[in-house]
Structure 1
Amino acid sequence: MELVVSIKDRRVHVRSGSTSLYAMFATTGMDDSTPRGTFEIEPERGDPFFNAREGMGARCYTGFLHHGVFLFRSVPTYAHGAYIADQADLLGIRPGSHGCVWG
């Protein structure tokens, strides 16, 4: 099984071989900052977090490059865990992250 991120289309596809199992909207990095290539899932993963400096967090995440620098993560959340609506509205529309993939 693999995840295929289309930066151009802002979609994440879950595939098993050549069979597409699921597709979802995503947001990728502003200024073309999402890395391209093939990556292995890294051990960094976890529960909800909040970054006070950036004023947003996530409900869950999994690292895919540089051990926590680039994440596959949920839509940004407020400190109390609710999704930030204007950030969720970016899914599938335009880039909004600093290189992470939100889905």
Structure 2
Amino acid sequence: MSSKRPTIPKINKPSISKRSKIAKVSKISPSRSLKRINTTVSATSSVHPQPKKKIIEKLGTCYELLECKGEIIGRRISKNKCKSLKGKSWKPINGKCQPT
């Protein structure tokens, strides 16, 4: 019995110009993948960041004169905004009159 060798399919190598491109790509790609794998999370940063608390400023009415008398300069504004508008007194919603 004569045994035949199995036929091995012929592998065509890419041309020389394509080989250099393949070599460049193979040099770049492992370093990129390593950067993605080796990233570490520092202990100071939390996995679940805490939600930020909303700073709610009290709103009120700003008056031109002391003791909440005179012309109204603005409604539904904060006390700091009343100061910048040259208001003399400010009254929060459901509150007592306050000088600015």
TM-score range, shorter chain: under 0.3
TM-score, scaled to structure 2 = 0.20
- Higher helix fraction (1 or 2): 2
TM-score, scaled to structure 1 = 0.20
